[in-house]
Amino acid sequence: MSELKATPHSGQGASAYTVAIIDDDRITANGFAAFLEMLGFNSVIFAGPRQALTRLNQAAPDLILLDINMPGMDGYEVCRYFKRELTTAKTPIVIVSAHSSENDKALAFEAGASAYLVKPVTIEALKICVESFLRPAGADAIM
């Protein structure tokens, strides 16, 4: 896992948890990374699914934030792939999408998603979601 933590988006050292952000929109990805850093988490950004598929098979992060609409392979397909792989099968995957229909959410959960956030995501919603997967019960929250 140390390979994933050596990124330009490392938190202040408050957490050993690493969140992978898979989003082809660099502004959105950088925004999520900044939010996560404020919360004390490390992050690594992947600009698209192909790069993520290659790197995350070698070392799984603690959590994945995954966009749906990306060129070449959509987030549903990426989610299904990660859930089939031994390295990432138990990694929580949070879909983060501008699509808010019940059908989109159902497709995400059928693909193996653990949670679904609708863009634009507030820092409070991101905090609650990420901490629900990565902070042990009773641990002091950052922020």
As a whole number, the mean pLDDT across the chain is 87
Q: How confident is the model over 72-101, as pLDDT tens digits?
A: 999 999 999 999 999 999 999 999 999 999
- pLDDT given for residue 58 in this prediction: 82
Q: How confident is the model over 19-58, as pLDDT tens digits?
A: 999 999 999 999 999 999 988 999 999 999 999 998 998 8
What is 2-134's CATH number?
3.40.50.2300
Phi and psi angles of residue 140, each rounded to the nearest 5 degrees, phi first: -70, 130
How many CB atoms within 10 Å of residue 84? 10
Residue among 45, 48, 41 at smallest CA distance from 29: 45
Helix, coil or strand: residue 90: coil
Helix, coil or strand: residue 1: coil
Q: Residue 27 has what DSSP assignment?
A: H
User: Which alpha helices (H) appear in 1-143, and where do they start and end?
Assistant: 2-5, 26-38, 49-56, 75-84, 102-111, 123-134
* Cα distance between residue 66 and residue 49, in whole Å: 9
Q: Are residues 92 and 63 in contact, defined by beta-carbon separation less than 8 angstroms? A: yes
